[in-house]
Structures are given as C-alpha cells and as structure tokens.
Structure 1
Amino acid sequence: MNKINLLFIGILGVLFSCQSKDQNDDVRFEETVEVSDDGVRMIPITTPSGDFEVFTKRVGDNPTKKVLLLHGGPGMTHEQYGNFDEYFPGEDIEFIWYDQLGSAHSDQPEDSTLWTIERFVDEVEQVRTALGLNEDNFYLLGQSWGGMLGMEYAFKHQDKLKGLIICNMMSSLDEYEKYAKEVLGPQMPAEVFAEVMEMERNMDFENPRYMELLGEYHYPQHVLRMAPDEWPEEINRMMSQVNPNVYVYMQGYSEFGITPGASLRGWDVRDQLKTITVPTLVVGGTHDTMDPAHMEWMSTEVANGRFLLCPNGSHLSQYDDPEHFFPGVIQFINDVDSGSF
C-alpha cells in the first residue's frame, strides 16, 4: 500500500475514531504543535458560547497590500498556505496565516452550535478589526470552504474589502455534487467508481476501502497532482490535523457531495454573486474538484471580476500549478492596488 493510501486511511481513522454517526455528538481534537512567536498574535473573539482565541501570524508589512488567508475544510489549518512565504514576500505583499476557531493552533471548543456560516463570518470580522484591516488595504483570500466563507463575508461586509480572491470554490454545493458525480467520478475506472458509489449509497464511510480508493484514484488527480512521496510536509500535517468536530458536522464524510445531515447541505449563493461589487478574482484549476467552467461563470456574475485558470492545477493549485497561481494572484493584487484593475 502506498503512502497516499496510508495517509488518507489515517484521516478516515481520525474522523471515525473521534466522531460517531450522530453529528450532534461533541468531540475534542487535540494537537500539540510548537509555534514561533515571530509575527504570531492570538486574537480574542466573542461568540454566543463565550470568549475564545484564534491564531494569526503576520508575514511582511505593507500598508496597502494585506492578505488575510481563509483555509478550507471546515476544520483544516493555515498550513494549506504554507508555500505563500516563497512568493508573496518577494512581491512586497503582506499576508496573514489564520486558523479559524476549532482549527489547529486556535481554541477548539466542543460546542457544535458554533459551527455555522454566520458565526464564522462574524469571527472573520472580529479578526479584521483586531488586525486593523480596512478598505484601503484588506484583501481576503479563501480556498474551498475558505472561498465559501469569503463570499459570505463579502455579502455582509464588502465595504471593508479592497479585494476578494475566491480560490477553487463553486457558488452552489448542489452543482458541485453534480460535477463530482457526473464528470469526475466517471474518470475513474468504471468498477472503482461503482464501488465508491455503492459505499456512498450505503453510508459505509467507515469502510477503509472508501479512502483507499479515493487515495489512489481521486486525490492525486483532483486534490493535489503530485506523486504521493512528493506531497509537501505542511499539507500532510494539515490533513492529519483535520478537526472532525467541525469538518464532519458541516461537510460530512462524502467526497462526492455533502453528506445528508451536514449543515452546509443545500448551500447555494448563485443569485447573490451579482451583489459583490468589490474587485474579485476567481481562481480555478483544470483538474479541480470544482468545475472550472462554473468558476469562470462566477467571475462574470460579480460586478467587477476576473478569472484565473490554472491549467495544470487541481484543488490545491498553489502547490501543483504555482507557475500560474501565484503570478495571477499577485497581478490581481497589484492591479487593484495601483488602481488599474
């Protein structure tokens, strides 16, 4: 069995050892990690369930170009953006790594009522205020779930934004599920896809065979297009640190849609995109888990949009197609900053 199968079987073990089939059961995910003090700031946030702290780490200092990074999951970590420090500092772009509540270095409360889009939007607003970000300098970049959160933040607070960057995320989870099942799934060998769909129908996600097949036939093709032994260490750490209390409650277990009962099921903001007027970049990968045609359409629905296609990229295009991802994102930030967008 190769490394990638072992990795994702390990993830499955984390999810199911910590989370029962009743998604209202609370769990605690604990990870001990040493964190450098350089640029690190624990930001207090207020929630309906009490006060907590979330982790941020600033890299660089630019008064007009500050990028707050929203990681995916939900319940993953800022290490999704581990390679940004290879590209942004040389372009004089300040960026902030940030673990959302429930993730990695941030507090991890056991209250599932906290895992709502509205509460996360309010958290991002509190983080923005604490960091002193405003419409003169604040770029918000979110990938996957982070892209959802970025859209939802813009619907409510775009007056605080200078620019919005939505990476590898569609505006409808029903359309995502349709794309996964009708386009991506059939790219697998027929017998493999049939077996995966049978386990999905039976809700047999505890079966190690489920992650074993995805680890061989789905993740290296559509999540990160690298040989298993070349996966960056920060991505391996991120995957091993997924907090199931958040991830399963909101997303569920399926990689071909949102599991019935998960709180994000049915999310669709296609008709709201036209209300976003702030300069917006939508990024997609040709081999993405998300439909690149849909993401290009999103860039035409917002009032002031641009589309960036990463032709060699998948869901983590910053790692498997940095040659297109970073120049495109950097160009967008510089164009908005100079007023030439």
Structure 2
Amino acid sequence: MASIPVIEAEVDFHVDGAGKPYKTWYTIFGTFPSPNGIRPLVCVHGGPGVPHDCLLAIQNLYTTHTIPVIMYDQLGCGRSTHLPEKKGDNDFWTIELFLLELDNLLAHLGIQNDYALLGQSWGGQVAAEHAVRQPKGLKSLVIANSPASMPSYVAAIQELLNEMPPDTQATLRKHEADGTLDTAEYQQARMQYFAKHMCRVSPPPPELMACFVALKQDPTVNHTINGPYVFKRIGPRGTWSIVDRISKINAPTLLISGKYDGVPASTMQPFFDRIDKVKWVTFAESSHFPHMEEPEEFLKVLGGFLSLN
C-alpha cells in the first residue's frame, strides 16, 4: 500500500488583546488540493485540550476514498501555542475562540467555500456551533459521539455510572466528591469506566494513550472549560446547549455513535430530531471512539456519506 502524502505546517491566529499572534498547527493527509477536485474533510478533535492524535485513524480515509483529511491541534494543546498562564480564564477559553480558530484555518487553506467538517466529542460541539451559522462553504457535516446539551449529558452519564459494579461506583463517587482525583484508587476505577464506555480496544491504542499523556502534561484548557471531573462539569461547558438552535443546521449531516458510548444516544437524539437532512449510524462494537474500535467499518460509513454529499 502506497504511503499517504503528509504536510505539516502552522498558521498565525490573531486574538484581540494577545499582543502577538498565536500558532495553530495543522497537518494534511493526502494530495491537497485534490487533483480530482475532491472536497477535503476538516476534523475537529475532542477534549477540549487534547491533541489531534485521537483522530489519526481517520487519515486512512485518503487511502480508501482519496479524500484529503485535514487535522489541527486547537489552541492550548498539542503542537499549537500553549497558554498555561490562562488556566481558569473563562473569558478567554470560550467556544467563540475555537470557532474563530476554525474559520482562520479554513481561510488560510483557501477552502472556506467548499469543505466537509467532522467534529468528534467536544469537537462535535464546535462543529455544530459552526454549522448553525450556516456557512456557505460547509457542504457536509459529521457529528460524532457528541451531545447536543451538556446538562442532559451529565444526567445521562449518571445512569452509566449506576451500571458499574457497586465498588467501582463507590470509589468514583467518593473521590469526585472529595476532589482526590490523583489517587491510584480513583485512577484505576476511572480506567474501568473508560474501558467500557470510552474505548473497548485492549490495550488502548497508542494514539489514545498519547492524548491522556498530553492532557496530564497541560490540563489548562480542559480543566478551565470542563473541570477535572468525569461525572460532573464545573466549568462553563457545563451549561452549554445547542438544542434550540439545531434546526438552523442546513448541511447534510451524519451522526455517529457507539452502542456503548460514553455519550449516550439520548444526548444525541435532538440532532436527529431537528436536522432536516440527517443520517445516524451506531457502531455495534464501539463506545466513544468507533474510528479506533471498528476502523474499517467506520471508514466505509464515513467515506460513503462524504462521497454522496
């Protein structure tokens, strides 16, 4: 199998009051622009505050469907500019910031008039917020493993917690209540939950482990927007909801979830109910990362959708 051409580069990202431009690092898998005029797919990773590594399996879409795939590290993580001095700054780390960063990248690449967009987990929230603004260049949208409302998500994952073994439940509840999140006992219980509802591949893929390492090294963005917990949200993301604006999404949309997803289906249902042109695929052997858990089937579904839209 021929290797995939890869480009890595940076783009300046100007933020009001920053005094200097920040850097958004990005990579392109495949020949870009496509000599056949094939629309590129831009991928928005989750977290927030973890790098694009979690999405690396999607690069193989170029091999299967010759679709160029663009990934980037959002501000504050990966190879983009880190800003640890802004930890806890809710006025800085807004979803609007990440929307501006996405727009800046699209314009830099010259694809703002013709692109497909995939957002996974937190990235799905960014992608949905982008889509409700009805950008003319957005030709197709993929929302993967992402809730339409964070309050409904927090409520739904309590049910997942209730399904865990009683001793695991007790450990997770105790340490989240006490704030003792660095204990070995809590970390072990959390990984038991993750093995069921985040990634069912054992051992976890290296690219997923790289994201956990990156998050531990610099939790600035994640702990500001989310807070450090699994089963509650204390940051500004905790009140986020797009339910009453979903109907503004006018791009053909593919919803992706896993049967055992840590983002339960009930939290994605509003997207299916309120988007006019929408398809929903649930992967039977997957949880939160179907592109890692069922990669061949995932690429078949994703490539088929993008080829038709």
Find the partner of 1:127 among 105, 108, 111. 105
Q: Secondary structure at the match of 1:139?
A: strand
Are 2:171 and 1:195 equivalent residues in the alignment? Answer: yes
Q: Deviations over 1:115-167 (max 9, x none)?
A: 110111111101110011134x3011110110011011112353231111110
Q: What CA distance in whole angstroms lies between the structure 2 residues aligned with 1:269 and 1:257?
A: 19
Are 2:272 and 1:299 equivalent residues in the alignment? Answer: yes
Per-residue deviation, 1:249: 0.5
Q: Partner amino acid for 2:148?
A: S
Q: Partner amino acid for 2:231?
A: F
**Equivalent position of 1:286 in the other structure:** 259
Aligned partners of 1:171 and 1:268 also within 8 Å: yes
**Equivalent position of 2:246 in the other structure:** 273
Q: Partner amino acid for 2:176?
A: E
CA RMSD of aligned residues (A): 1.7
Per-residue deviation, 1:70: 0.6
Aligned partners of 1:173 and 1:257 also within 8 Å: no
Question: 5+ unaligned residues in a row in structure 1: which ranges?
Answer: 1-36, 337-341
Per-residue deviation, 1:219: 0.9
Q: Partner amino acid for 2:145?
A: N
* TM-score (structure 1 length as normaliser): 0.82
Aligned length, in residue pairs? 293
Aligned partners of 1:180 and 1:257 also within 8 Å: no
Are 2:22 and 1:52 equivalent residues in the alignment? Answer: yes
Equivalent runs, 1:69-88 vs 2, <5 Å: 69-88=43-62
Q: What CA distance in whole angstroms lies between the structure 1 residues aligned with 2:56 and 2:250?
A: 30
Equivalent runs, 1:27-106 vs 2, <5 Å: 38-48=6-16, 49=18, 50-60=20-30, 61=32, 62=34, 63-106=37-80
Per-residue deviation, 1:296: 4.2
Aligned-pair identity in percent equals 25
**Equivalent position of 1:15 in the other structure:** none
Q: Partner amino acid for 1:96?
A: I
Are 2:210 and 1:237 equivalent residues in the alignment? Answer: yes
**Equivalent position of 2:292 in the other structure:** 319
Question: 5+ unaligned residues in a row in structure 2: which ranges?
Answer: none
Find the partner of 1:107 among 72, 78, 81. 81
Q: Deviations over 1:197-235 (max 9, x none)?
A: 1222233323332211111x211111110112xx22222
**Equivalent position of 1:246 in the other structure:** 221
Equivalent runs, 1:162-241 vs 2, <5 Å: 162-182=139-159, 184-215=160-191, 217-228=192-203, 231-241=204-214
Greater CA drift, 246-255 or 194-203: 194-203
Q: Secondary structure at the match of 1:87?
A: helix
Q: Partner amino acid for 1:190?
A: P
| 1:297–1:265 CA distance, 2 compared to 1 (3 A) | closer
Aligned partners of 2:117 and 2:138 also within 8 Å: yes
Per-residue deviation, 1:98: 0.5
Per-residue deviation, 1:256: 1.4
Q: What CA distance in whole angstroms lies between the structure 1 residues aligned with 2:266 and 2:300?
A: 21
Q: Deviations over 1:158-209 (max 9, x none)?
A: 3231111110001011111111102x11221112212211222233323332
Q: What CA distance in whole angstroms lies between the structure 1 residues aligned with 2:135 and 2:198?
A: 29
Per-residue deviation, 1:282: 1.0
Q: What CA distance in whole angstroms lies between the structure 2 residues aligned with 1:205 and 1:157?
A: 41
Q: Secondary structure at the match of 2:135?
A: helix
Q: Deviations over 1:312-340 (max 9, x none)?
A: 1111110112243221111110110xxxx
Aligned partners of 1:59 and 1:89 also within 8 Å: no
